[in-house]
Chains A and B, each alone.
Chain A
Amino acid sequence: MTKDIIAFWGYPHPDLIKKTKIQYSSAKWVDLDICYNYPSSKFTPDAYCGIIKNIFDNAFYLKDRIIKIIAAVGKDKCDSGFFAANLLKQEGFDIEISFFEETLPLNQLPDVPICKSSLPLKEKLSLITANIIEQKNYSHLVQTKARFGFWGVPPNDLNICDLFPSQTHVFGWSRCVEAKNPANFELEMFVEPDLPTVFFAQTFCSKTALAKYLADKYNGLYIDIDVTPSNSAYAKIEAFLRLR
């Protein structure tokens, strides 16, 4: 089978993306963080972060087509990203590690028009992740006054986003990605204190500690979801948005 895929996860360093694009100009880029419903590789324990499970499942399913994997392993991703890179290397993948840890002060960051736009939340998060490889200018998007906040990484199952109104602003790591500062902890912890915000993290992800801390501090809703949301998770978010 022809190898035609450059795979990646997280937010690889833009210089590395640029270099790889020149080197493999006709390759297709595939974000391994995303769930494509490929068969389970059963590589990790059951109790493991759903996003990292996606990385393994996607990588093994696409193994024959993957030229190389650009693996984010720095503070811009997580320890599990580092482990995944090394384990996949042991399994014969060509791994190029990436650190994207440069940060800017909050007042020097670029604007985040997607996070503050009137697009539905699902579209906002999809655009933010798509923009990692195919950078486009979204400054034309209509901006909206926030009624709610969504803090966190793009969920494994984006369907929970349908519960939120379009006047939902995005915070946390997703905002960091749009601002091209995926390792900016100060930005990751930034929220609007009086804005009712849902603090989301994947179950078994260490970002659950941040989400819980911020939810307690700002009287928001903490929620962690594994692979797909339970009825209870849907109901809690729905009730929070209705009652706040």
Chain B
Amino acid sequence: MNDSKYYIDAGTTWTKILEILPIGERKYSVYPTNQARKFNLNYEKITGHTSDKNSNKYENEVVALAMGAKAHLENNFIALDLGSRDVKWIKFKNGKFSDMDWNSSCAAATGATVEMLLKFYDVKVEDLKFCEEKYPVTCGIFGLEKIMDDVSKGLLPSIAISKFIHGIAYNAYNFTKNPDKICISGGFCENKCFMDSLQKYCEVLPLGRFVLVDGLALRP
């Protein structure tokens, strides 16, 4: 019998799992969500866009982010989680919740869009490099149009996608109200082009992909 405890962040594209073994050891893993759905794990808590929000084990994503980030950070911070289809952030001041926002209405310029672009243009994420120029991605569809226009004129797709990612980073900076420092949660931590782009505007601290599951494990 498996006595491990599981905490799950079931995102739109990727599912992050924290397994806490009976001896207290923590194991982290990531699976495509359509694959993770088949695991049928008996979990303690769950969060994320594809989880059942009516379940008594469901935790609000912003609350999970807040708890997870608080465990990692000092008393004053802004943590931003940029996911496949949404972006949310939380601010703590003197150890207390101070501000937040969550935009899940338009998912045009988030992780899933970047993954689709990479597949569409057959570009590897490692090939993306920070570009001084950016596309305006207030509307992701207009951003995509800019990419297609420029690629048709001969621009390398990797450069066009890098400009798009710079636009996402600039949006993230504005969405969080232009702070001096942003702590980044989620898959974009591993996207060097994004992190370098955001560093143009403020100090950036990567927290990794497991902040939300860490937050779930802290909740009673």
Contact = CB atoms under 8 A, between A and B. Distances in A.
Contacts of A231: 104
Given A219-B98, A219-B99, A244-B97, A239 B105 contact: no
Main secondary structure of the interface of A (DSSP, over half): helix
Nearest to B67: A243
A100 B120 CA distance: 61
B62 A235 contact: yes
A230 interface: yes
Contacts, number: 39
B81 interface: no
A63 B101 CA distance: 42
Nearest to A231: B104
A25 to B, nearest CB: 48
A238 interface: yes
B50 to A, nearest CB: 12
A243 B61 CA distance: 12
Contacts of A243: 62-63, 66, 90, 97, 100
Interface string B84-96: 0010001000000
B103 interface: yes
Nearest to B99: A219
A219 B100 CA distance: 10
A231 B61 CA distance: 12
A239 B99 contact: no
A224 B62 CA distance: 18
Given A219-B98, A219-B99, A242 B60 contact: yes
A35 B100 CA distance: 30
B30 to A, nearest CB: 23
Interface in A178-232: 219, 221, 230-232
A170 B90 CA distance: 26
Contacts of B102: 232, 235-236, 239
Contacts of B60: 235, 238-239, 242
Contacts of A239: 60-63, 66, 100, 102
Contacts of A244: 97
Interface residues of B, number: 16
Contacts of B62: 235-236, 239, 243
A230 B107 CA distance: 13
A13 B66 CA distance: 48
Contact of A230 (B99, B101, B104): B104
B104 A235 contact: yes
A244 B96 CA distance: 8
A212 B105 CA distance: 19
Contacts of B100: 221, 236, 239-240, 243
Interface string B101-130: 111110000000000000000000000000
B82 to A, nearest CB: 15
A17 B61 CA distance: 48
A237 to B, nearest CB: 10
A36 B66 CA distance: 39
B61 A232 contact: no
Given A232-B103, A235-B102, 4 more contacts: A221-B100, A231-B104, A238-B63, A243-B100
Nearest 10 interchain pairs by C-beta? A239-B62, A243-B97, A232-B104, A239-B60, A236-B102, A238-B60, A242-B63, A232-B102, A239-B63, A232-B105
16 contacts: A219-B98, A230-B105, A231-B104, A232-B103, A232-B104, A235-B60, A236-B102, A238-B60, A238-B63, A239-B60, A239-B61, A239-B102, A240-B100, A242-B63, A243-B63, A243-B90
Interface of B: 60-63, 66, 86, 90, 97-105
Interface of A: 219, 221, 230-232, 235-236, 238-240, 242-244
